[in-house]
Structure 1
Amino acid sequence: MTAAHDAPVVLDRRDGPYGEVVLRRHGELLQIIANGCFLMDTSDGRSERLLVDAAYDTLDGRPEPSVLIGGLGVGFSLAHAAADPRWGRITVVEREPAVIDWHRDGLLAELSAGALGDPRTQVVHDDLAAYVHETSDTFDALCLDIDNGPGWTVTEGNAGLYSPAGLAACARVLKPGGVLAVWSAEPSPDFEGTLRNAGFRQVRTEEVPVARGVPDAVHLGVRPG
């Protein structure tokens, strides 16, 4: 466990296209900080794994479904998807070059090396908010984990993804019957309503209890067939 008196140690600090990105160690944990905002660490990963599993389960046995993962982070979602042979093509979109470097050649490589080496995996350096508007590709599932939730975005530009227009773009990259799964640091009943108003069906929220505070949540919705 991380001792309470341990001071975080900065391992790498870079000025990226969207501001400062920091990788630091706090006791045994590695943490990613963007513009002073804590994003995630290597302490658990249950909710990130739920993000992937809930998306797959919602597809009701579709053979070798493709998945688009928005955000590489510390690699929990990618590693979990790659460890499951039922998934087909796995595409990860990450906008921060530093995060990609930390996984390919740095301290996060031990968490994702097997997944990055999987022939099903492709890492795309792009902003997901732009990617869902521009790509001609489609997927069976979109697992979105680039913010702390719909109401707590890392940068202001991300907020548009959770608007009706942004959700329409997310639906555009989904095949009929495809599922959108959105990670959040807390449940958002308002976002459930936004998903329904954007045309998604079977909207629901799954929660993961945490040691303190409100549970993490995964919001799910299905694009109509």
Structure 2
Amino acid sequence: MRVALFITCFNDTLYPETGKAVVRLLERLGHTVEFPADQTCCGQMHFNTGYRPEATPLARRFAEVFAGYDAVVSPSASCTGMVRDSHELLTGSRPPQVYELSEFLVDVLGVTDVGAYFPHRVTYHPTCHSLRMLRVGDRPLRLLRAVKGIDLVELPAADSCCGFGGTFALKNAGTSAAMLADKADCVLRTGAEVLSAADNSCLMHIGGGLSRIRSGVRTLHLAEILAATEGDAR
């Protein structure tokens, strides 16, 4: 199986360790992961803000760059949703098959125990795109429950939005801040050391709020927890 990593521009710029974690994880499971260096933005930011003509060439480039791969894996439910839901609308042709990481692990590889070790109290936030657009369901939780040493605790009101929503947080700052405060309160009520999710964009937003109140809770992408092993110092 030819597997490619779609890292997304957000992760590439701000959270490169997440992409590295995906590669370590999949290689540990016996797969070679290719990284097409010509990949760029999927066009989600442009599309969601109303700039569809500007998003179209990005969608076409995505199809060209990832053509020929059996599977494209991404550590972003948000960008995966953009490719699967909107690229055909923009280009008129079906895009390459893109999987969010937990979908690929559970549905394609058929694994839930990936050999991870993470001895910390963790809670999980199901981001809006993973929950409502991709409908990944409990796949991330099934993967986390199989991690050795983990103390996984349920997040109250888990299905509520964190308030990020890309440009929503800028255009509706007051509403976004109120939603963030509610989400942060729910995180604190769990007593978790770590908040995890399938999108670093949401983790950035929530993590900023948790940092400003000096909560001591850190954020970590699902891929980085699943890539952790007993030898890692975390």
Per the TM superposition, whether the score is higher than 0.5 is no
Structure with the largest fraction of helix: 2
Structure with the largest fraction of strand: 1
Greater RCO structure (CA 8 Å; 6+ sep): 2
TM-score normalised by structure 1 residue count:
0.32
TM-score normalised by structure 2 residue count:
0.32
